[in-house]
Amino acid sequence: MLPGAALWAGRDLWNDGLIRIDRGTLEIEGSLRLGANGRIETVEPGSLRLARHWLGASANQDAATGSLRLVLDGGGQPAPDLGANAFYVEAEDFNFDRGQHEAVANAMPYLGGAYDGHAGRDRIDYSQTSNQTVSDVYRVKEGPDVNVNIYAMTDLDRGAYRMNVNYKIGYNDATEWYNYTRVYPAFAEPTCFFARLSSGGQANAVQIDEVTGSANTTSQTLAKLGEVRGPASGDWNRFVYVPLRNDAGELLLLNWSGQKTFRITILPGSNEDLDCFVLAPASSSGPTQLFEVMGRNLGSDVAGFNADTAIDSITLAANSQVQLVDRVDNSPGAGAEALYVRSLVVPAGTTLDLNGFALYAQEVQIHGEVINGTVLQVLPEAPELAIRLLGTGIELSWPATAGGYYLEHTEQLPPAADWQTVSTPPVPAGDRQTVIQSPSAATRFYRLRHD
């Protein structure tokens, strides 16, 4: 990146190479997934703002450097785990020929295109209120009276795989709906349902029902599951995952297996473009932001902040929930994994779940809640204070890398010492912080202090 620039990634960012942040900010709305050789390099004060997951793939990753400033700002918003256990239903692949579906779409990875030319039946497989023939591709000859507007998309990413072809459904207005029949596997755990939607200005708002009977007729029976609601994505080509909640506002946990048919209906006050729907593992798709621990546990020795995967600072955003996890054993050495952070900030209202992992930090500001473990504070090695005579005074200096230190003076040593903060602020000079003091008639002693 260019110095001072900002780069925004609206979905998952996969990396099996080098990401370099050069005095700018990389903002990722989705997940950062580091490949086998993925690594990040930063130039102070390069920073990464991550809204969802920080997940690795295998061993020998340089997850970050000591100069990385990381902001975790998921804010407790649910996000789907798009790993190998996610089950996708493509929006363009709604039912055809009165409740029929293609069996190939029942198994993942589904690469798209299986419904090409399959005509849906209006008021049975879908319902649209007007015949807008802006784009008549892929699902042709629908009807008999109303066409479905479908557009090709270049976004082929589906988390653990890439599709061969992908489409979206556009021009969806209130009361319009689509039916989707699939045969679901026996999931290992309950799943959360997410719709991937885009909207130009109005909020995302759709209802999800299960079709409980007569899916091949115009007299279908429905059972409401919940609603998918969220703020507008702000652009018709910017898609976001929005979770399904019940009428109490809680994430809905599904235990589907075997053949099921669900309906998506556009709610009043909304219009949507539809990309896909996904059932994702509930344990890793809730409001908690996941952060995979990748470093060796070298103990509380300060050397761990230099010899291990270390991060300059981690700040949790307001009301966020962050959990340390180990999805794969990616420690380069034996023993448990740990996280080394020079500065850790946990504001009031936030929750940091250590999940049993060791987190070592040098500077700690904890006003929120830390659960399932204790942040282990490690004081950095005391820097050496240097002093030399100048023509008109004295110069005191210490390494610029020694953050959090300030200069004090006293005219008497303990037990009668009265240490006072030097009012002159330090000035950077090369790799050192310097303070110039005028000569004093009294004897004066100096020290560095770190609270």
Bigger pLDDT: 196 vs 35: 196
For residue 1, is it within any domain?
Answer: no
Closest by Cα among 145, 206, 153 to 180: 206
Residue 133 pLDDT > 80: no
Residues 312, 403, single domain; the answer is no
Q: Is residue 29 part of a domain?
A: yes
Q: For the domain that residue 438 is a member of, what is the CATH number?
A: 2.60.40
Distance CA 265, CA 125 (A): 12
Does 437 score more than 70 pLDDT? yes
Per-residue pLDDT tens for 86-104?
Answer: 999 999 999 999 999 999 9
Same domain, 121 and 175: yes
Here the CATH number for the domain that contains residue 100 is 2.60.120.260
| Pair 395, 438 in one domain | yes
pLDDT beyond 80 at 328:
no
Query: Are 63 and 97 contained in the same domain?
Result: no
Identify the band that residue 3 occupies on the pLDDT scale cut at 50, 70 and 90: very low
Given 377, 407, 432, the domain boundary residue is: 377
Q: Judge if 260 and 200 occupy the same domain.
A: yes
Same domain, 201 and 137: yes
Question: What whole-number distance in Å separates Cα of residue 37 and Cα of residue 48?
Answer: 19
Q: Tell me whether residue 239 is in a domain.
A: yes
3-class secondary-structure state, position 40: strand
Is 82 within a domain?
no
**Mean of per-residue pLDDT scores for the chain:** 87
Say yes or no: 339 and 357 in one domain.
yes
Last residue of a domain, one of 377, 410, 430: 377
For residues 91 and 173, membership in a common domain is answered with yes
Residue 110 inside a domain? The answer is yes
Over range 381-394, report the average pLDDT.
86
* DSSP bridge partners of 56: 34
* Residue whose C-alpha is closest to residue 124's, from 265, 206, 220: 220
Q: Report yes or no on 321 lying in a domain.
A: yes
Report the helix count and the strand count for the chain, using DSSP H and E: 1, 37
Return the percentage of the chain with pLDDT > 90, whole number.
51
Q: What is the mean pLDDT of residues 264-275?
A: 95
- Cα 81 from Cα 31, distance rounded (Å): 9
DSSP three-state, residue 103: helix
Which residue bears the tokens 């010899």? 307
Examine the domain organization and report whether 440 and 394 are in the same domain. yes
- Listed residues 330, 353, 377: the one ending a domain: 377
pLDDT for the residue 44: 63
- Residue type at 442? A
3-class DSSP state of 69: strand
| Alpha-carbon gap, residue 59 to 35, rounded angstroms | 9
Confidence at residue 63, expressed as pLDDT on a 0 to 100 scale: 55
Report the DSSP pairing between strands 177-184 and 221-230.
unpaired
Residue 46 half-sphere exposure, CB side, CA atoms within 13 Å?
21
Q: Looking at the structure, tell me whether residues 249 and 291 fall in a common domain.
A: no
The pLDDT of residue 178 is above 90: yes
Number of domains in the chain: 3
* 150 part of a folded domain: yes
Q: Please give the residue that has the higher pLDDT: either 440 or 264.
A: 264
Burial level of 362, CB count in 10 A (0-12/13-18/19+)? buried
Assess whether 146 and 271 both reside in one domain: yes
- 30-34, 63-67, 112-116, 401-405: the lowest-pLDDT one: 63-67
Q: How far is CA 61 from the centre of its chain?
A: 19
* Pair (67, 174) in one structural domain: no
pLDDT score recorded for residue 91: 98
* DSSP assignments along 223-237, one per residue: EEEEEEEE---SEEE
Q: Which of 40-54, 210-224, 246-260, 274-288 has the lowest mean pLDDT?
A: 40-54
**Domain range for residue 406?**
386-450
